[in-house]
Structure 1
Amino acid sequence: MTGENIMAASKPDILIILNDDMGFSDIGCYGGEVETPNLDGLATGGLRYSQFYNTARCSPSRASLMTGLHPHQTGIGILTYDTGPEGYAGDLNRRCVTMAEVLREAGYGTYLSGKWHVAKNLREPTDSWPMQRGFDKFYGTIIGAGSFFYPNTLTRGNENIEHEARDDAEFFYTDAISDQAAAFIHEHHAASPDKPLFQYVTYTAPHWPLHAHDEDIAKYKGRFDAGWDRLREQRLERLVRAGIIDQSWMLTDRDPSQPAWENAEQKEWLLRCMEVYAAQIDRMDQGIGRILQALEETGRFENTLIIFLSDNGACAEDIPEGVDEKSLVEDLMIARAQTRDGRPVRLGNDPTIMPGAEDTYQSYGVAWANMSNTPFRLYKHWIHEGGIATPLIAHWPKGIAERGALRHVPGQLPDLMATVLEVSGARYPETFKGNVILPLEGVSLVKSFAEDHQRTEPLFWEHEGNAAVRVGNWKLVRNYPGAWELYDMQSDRTEMRDLAADNSERVKDMLALYEAWAKRCGVIPREKILEEMKKLGGNAFWEKEEEQG
């Protein structure tokens, strides 16, 4: 369907599903072992994109997706923590508008179920909270991570409702997100059957801590016993067969910090970590099925544009034994000291404690994250492909004619705002509520709904000094504070052959493009950010992450 035909049709409902810290190749339709029949069904009935990108970190990705800008322009260049008067505020500013704000102006009902994570104040409503940024209804968390059984900052509208999780023995956050999203669809349809719907569903799964139901974990017993080395090879084989990855691209080496599977210790614990991680994604997919069912039951499914993606690559962050409890529980508010029934939560990756239960708080580690990002290098935080490559599924029966096709055109998060504007007919404002709004940075994906094509516009990234610019098939990328590297993404998307030394003029030209973008978008030099963090006194947990990259 052409853009003109789309505009002539009735306004579609729009459903964006974002999950948290999941690798490129975890779900079934992208080569993974995790059972995701509902996402696989959307892929079979729609499109899969092989070269769509996020920003490599939770908060910046959400800010960019929601606003159509680069995260630095929105005030969220790192996380929702203030990095000082000369750093990023860590708070969604008023130089941007959200999808919810522009779509509500265009007559949409607007709903959010799940993680927000673009507001600095975690307890008191501010103008960067969902209800103040265009959503008619909100259920979810303001914070970026936490217990799936008893999350901090659980909120309905502007009201804290943590007590609802505390008092409900069956509460599980992934299920709550899904069930509330389905309920919003039914409520909206009952009240306004002819009014278009925008829904933003933002799971925390599979972000640590590793929390899951026993029955979901049991499904994956033995699924990963072959170990990360063989499973990475098998994933690549499936990706190549699916046409997502070119057979000429080399599989990246195992992370040099990790042993061969045959030499790994504590295998029982390691396998359990991956089994719980898989169970987290499985539970999310089950909930997505209930959301799709709600669309079917209300007759809205055929004219709903559904987009699914992840906010960054797989997460290799370790939660060390003996991690500072005060830091996680009181300062960052991403953990609980006790379970709902008063048992102490055992914080840290202790191999004598099997993850999954409410009284545990662990992550799955570098080697499994390396597998999750097959076939790419590095992880969340970095701008090499492992940090920024995301699966992206687009499904819209009335607007996308092809079924089960692939699209290889590159894209990134600001493109989603441009896409939503085109399909909805909403107007991106120059001013909003008395504030001058920065120009839209994205390029609509609507053209790619009908056919694959080449992208002429460059793509840019920066996070924690890690940075890149991509022009056509060329990508200039830096692992801060290292040197710039150059890769031909057509022949070597796994970034195995650095061509910078042989292409000095190309490097110079691309670096000039990057520097002009960084200046225009307010990217603060990493050295200056680190200075401001030191002035604030730092934080033991995040300082460790800084040391890791």
Structure 2
Amino acid sequence: MTSTDKYIEMKVPAFILTGLLCGLLLQPVAAQTGPAHNRPNIILIMSDDMGYSDLGCYGSEISTPNLDSLAMTGLRYTRFHNMGHCCPSRAALMTGLYPHQTGLGWMTGTNFHLPGFTDELNEHCVTIAEVLKTAGYATLMAGKWHLSHNIHAGGPQHDWPLQRGFEKFYGILTGAGNYYDPASLCRDNTLITPLNDPEYHPQHFYFTNAITDNAVRFMQERPKDKPFFMYVAYTTAHWPMQAPEEAIEKYKGKYDAGWDVLRRQRFEREKALGVIDKDATLSPSDTHPWAEEKDKAAMARRMETYAAMITIMDQGIGKIVDELKKEGIFDNTVIVFLQDNGGNAEGTGFGGPEGETRPVVPKNAAALKPLGKDEVQYAINPPVTRDGKRVMQGKNVMAGPADTYLAYLKPWGNLSNTPFRKYKNFVYEGGVATPLIIHWPDGIKAERGAVRTQSGHEIDLMPTIAQLAGAKYPSVYKGNEITPVSGISLIPTFEDKPLPPERAIYWSHQANRAMLMGKWKIVSGGILNGPYGKWKTYVSLPWQLYDMENDRSEMRDLSAEHPDIVKKMAAMWDKWAHSTNVYPMPWKEVKPPLRPDYMSTPWEYPDF
């Protein structure tokens, strides 16, 4: 019997063991943090809709010298994970809980009035900002919130950043928007526009730069007698693919070779950099060959724009680092970088079934009236710019300007997620694997650029940061009982010490299910029936089993060879799901029709 088998046999559920371990690992690290004035500053940076291989230090051709420098003088984690979708990932990151424990098991768009499926953070969780604020930290945020349903002026604000522990906030409350006129732009508790913001007046507004500039300003204006925690949540590189022309021009021709060639090149660089195993498998291409692409110029332009967006974000991170160095606090600042999900295969802006070029709103005189200077932009996909241009979509539209609204599409998402399969929303590695960079010169004495292979998850960052800050995770906060943290501290990995070898990590999102424990991962795809967000029923596909030590790309399903492991892990997943508000789900499970022996049926298991 393997150690995994023995662990599965244990009667103590994995989530209880995790809670016990967290109680131990959340004790302050006095030797590292010391007195209050020596405690580290902490900057947590999250990017949006980027794949595992999109940074130079993880194999990309995209220029990210500032993140590369942090990685090559800090730590790179190669088996770290997120929740696979924007909103649940942010809930897990901010609270150290699985998203269903916070109420955000799906998204902020719908309140299903079920414990795990509301439209905002519940009162039984705390954010990192709330925990660190009680420990004397200044708490600052710039970027994307996406943890509250209400984003309108005059409505409730109890789940806006300032009400969840942050003292300063600049960013958007919703999940995406035009980079030149972002939806739900907000400063502290006031909704604003790029034109009427009383505190920020760049010559040319671009949201990524605005996030950076306000983050730097918050650092400069913070109280200097206390350490600070700053959460920088870039929307890069979530659709729409928009960037200034001069930034895109630097990548002109870079993607003319196409996704087939570039994917193989990234795969070889990943192996050389040590962020995948030397004997790793490149999952098969999930699209047509580049040679068969009929719209090469427009498709290459999408990826050129995507790369430009990432480089602009990296330049912003460089400005944050420069400010730390200027103030002489760089060495005692912990910088953490990760991504909220994998590369995105969504077809936003494709232009209908045939990809025709057309306006976002073909006919609607009221919607096509440009907003005035003081009118808040609420539309994620505005039909018209503030200067009156109609926003266009379609397969042949050239990405970049404010009057376009496009995703970079599945073929490039497949490149982003090299070498893994699938994308954002799925719980295969293409959807849930993320780079993790941790940089702290004063506290991490490991070899420069060291790689860490311990399996972890973004729920682990709350206990890690709390421990670094010497902060106590509460059992009661503002009169509410607080759910015990689900993650464990990563601090032992700073010295390359192992984490509990058989800890279990779980996923559930949109009927997709997975569990990772030791070298084994079980995965079950889900099919939701009906239009997006309007689902009534779902079908669960059979559990698959993968050996993640020898098959990280999840290409060889071993479920038939080890049915006992599948059965036991599936039972653990089910017990976890019932204990963390995954159940009841808002959708009813239905069984797929059986294939009769003597007649055909149109229903087939898709290739998940």
Q: Verify same fold: TM over 0.5.
A: yes
Aligned letter for 2:217? Answer: A
- Assess, with a 3 A threshold, how the Cα gap between structure 1 residues 297 and 374 changes in structure 2: closer, same or farther: same
Contact 2:29 2:470 in 1 (8 A): no
Q: What does the per-residue CA deviation read over 1:408-465, in whole Å, with 9 as the maximum and x for residues that have no partner?
A: 0010011000101111110000000010100011110100011152533111111101
Q: Does 1:387 align with 2:431?
A: yes
Maintained 8 Å contact 1:407/1:452:
no
Q: Is the 8 A contact 2:194 2:205 kept in 1?
A: no
**Amino acid aligned to 1:429:** P
Q: Is the partner of 1:467 in helix, strand or coil?
A: strand
Q: For residues 298 and 212 of structure 1, what CA distance do their matches in structure 2 show?
A: 31
1-side partners of 2:379 and 2:118: how far apart? 18
Q: Which amino acid aligns with 2:34?
A: A
Correspondences of 1:222-241 after superposition (within 5 Å): 222-241=253-272
Aligned to 2:464: 419
Q: Does 1:220 align with 2:251?
A: yes
- Deviation of 1:7 after TM superposition, in Å, equals 3.4
2:557 aligned to which of 498, 508, 529: 498
Q: 1:266 aligns with which of 295, 314, 326?
A: 295
Note the C-alpha offset of 1:168. 6.3
In the superposition, the TM-score normalised over structure 1's length comes to 0.92
Q: Which moved more, 1:43-52 or 1:80-89?
A: 80-89
Select the residue among 440, 443, 446 that pairs with 1:399.
443
* Cα separation, partners in 2 of 1:169 and 1:296, compared to 1, 3 Å: closer
Residues 61-86 of structure 1: CA deviation (Å, up to 9, x unaligned): 00100001000111111111114234
CA distance in 2, matches of 1:355, 1:150: 16
Q: Structure 1 residues 139 and 486 mapped into 2: Cα distance closer, same or farther (>3 Å)?
A: same
Aligned residue type for 1:478: S
215 and 131 in structure 1: CA distance in 2 versus 1, 3 angstrom threshold: same
Matched, 1:321 2:321: no
After superposition, where does 1:279-318 map in structure 2 within 5 Å?
Answer: 279-318=308-347
Q: Does 1:126 align with 2:120?
A: no
SS at match of 1:459: strand
CA displacement 1:183-236 (0-9 Å, x = unmatched): 111111xxx323000000000010000100111101111212221111111111
Which blocks of at least 5 consecutive residues in structure 1 are unaligned? 532-546
CA distance in 2, matches of 1:548, 1:508: 22
Q: 1:433 corresponds to which residue? A: 478
Q: Counterpart of 2:469 in structure 1: which amino acid?
A: S
Q: Which amino acid aligns with 1:275?
A: E
Counterpart in the other structure of 1:135: 166
Aligned sequence identity (%): 46
In structure 1, the residue matched to 2:99 is: 71
Matched residue of 1:390: which SS?
Answer: strand
- What is residue 217 of structure 2 aligned with on the other side? 183
1:472 is the counterpart of 2:501: no
Is residue 2:66 matched to residue 1:32?
Answer: no
Offset of 1:45 from its aligned partner?
1.1
Give the AA of the match of 2:163: Q
- Amino acid across the alignment from 1:439: P
- Secondary structure of the corresponding residue to residue 308 of structure 1: strand
What stretches of structure 2 of length at least 5 have no aligned partner? 1-27, 353-358, 369-376, 527-539, 591-605
Q: In 2, Cα distance between the equivalents of 1:444 and 1:174?
A: 30
1:22 matches 2:14: no
SS at match of 1:451: coil
**Structure 1 counterpart of 2:420, one-letter code:** F
Higher helix share goes to which structure? 1
The alpha carbon displacement at 1:525 in A equals 5.5
Contact 1:115 1:144 in 2 (8 A): yes
**Alpha-carbon distance in structure 2 between the residues aligned to 1:120 and 1:507:** 37
- Asked if 1 retains the 8 angstrom alpha-carbon contact of 2:125 and 2:482, the reply is yes
In structure 1, the partner of 2:570 is: 511
Name the TM-score, length of structure 2 as normaliser: 0.83
Residue identity in the other structure for 1:465 = A
Segment drifting more, 234-243 vs 111-120: 234-243
Please give the alpha-carbon distance, in whole angstroms, between the structure 2 residues aligned to 1:312 and 1:29: 18
How far did 1:467 drift? 1.0
In 2 relative to 1, CA 325–77 (structure 1 residues): closer, same or farther, beyond 3 Å? farther
Aligned in 2, Cα 1:165/1:37: closer, same or farther, shift over 3 Å?
farther
More deviation in 496-505 or 330-339?
A: 330-339
Q: 1:394 and 1:118, CA in 2 relative to 1: closer, same or farther beyond 3 A?
A: same
Alignment partners' CA distance in 1, 2:94 and 2:183: 23
Q: Which amino acid aligns with 1:187?
A: E
**The residue matched to 1:253 in structure 2 has which SS?**
coil
Q: Which residue identity lines up with residue 261 of structure 1 in the other structure? A: W
Q: Would the alpha carbon gap of residues 259 and 468 (structure 1) be closer, same or farther in structure 2, given more than 3 Å must change?
A: same
Counterpart of 1:145 in structure 2 is 176
- State which of 376, 382, 386 in structure 2 corresponds to 1:336: 382
> Residues 126 and 482 of structure 2 are in contact (CA less than 8 Å); yes or no, is this contact kept in structure 1?
yes
| Larger of the two Rg values belongs to structure | 2
Q: Which amino acid aligns with 2:224?
A: P
Conserved 8 A contact 1:125-1:158: no
Which residue does 1:61 correspond to in 2?
89
Identify which of 108, 114, 119 aligns with 2:143: 114
Assess, with a 3 A threshold, how the Cα gap between structure 1 residues 401 and 383 changes in structure 2: closer, same or farther: same
Equivalent position of 1:463 in the other structure? 509
The within-5 A match list for 1:137-216 is 137-164=168-195, 170-188=204-222, 192-216=223-247
* 1:147-203 deviation digits (Å, cap 9, x = unpaired): 000011110010011153798661110000000001111111xxx323000000000
CA distance in 2, matches of 1:318, 1:523: 28
The equivalent residue for 1:523 is 582
Q: 1:448 aligns to what SS in structure 2?
A: helix
Q: Distance in 2 between matches of 1:386 and 1:11?
A: 36
Distance 1:298 1:177 in 2: 20
Q: Give the alignment partner of residue 395 of structure 2, picking from 339, 342, 351.
A: 351
SS at match of 1:149: coil
Asked whether the equivalents of residues 313 and 386 of structure 1 are also in contact (C-alpha less than 8 Å), the reply is yes
In 1, Cα distance between equivalents of 2:239 and 2:227: 35
> Per-residue deviation at 1:125?
4.3
CA distance, structure 2, for counterparts of residue 215 and residue 53 of structure 1: 34
DSSP-derived class of the 2:60 partner:
coil
Q: CA deviation at 1:340?
A: 2.0
Match of 2:4 in 1: none
C-alpha distance 28-180 of structure 1, shift in aligned 2 (>3 A): same
SS in 1 for 2:484: coil
Instruction: Quote the residue 2:32 is aligned against.
Output: 6
Q: Distance in 2 between matches of 1:115 and 1:417?
A: 18
What is the CA distance between 1:548 and its match in structure 2?
12
CA distance in 1, matches of 2:542, 2:249: 45
Tell me how large the CA RMSD over aligned residues is: 2.3
Q: Which amino acid aligns with 1:157?
A: D
Q: What residue identity is the alignment partner of 1:492? A: D
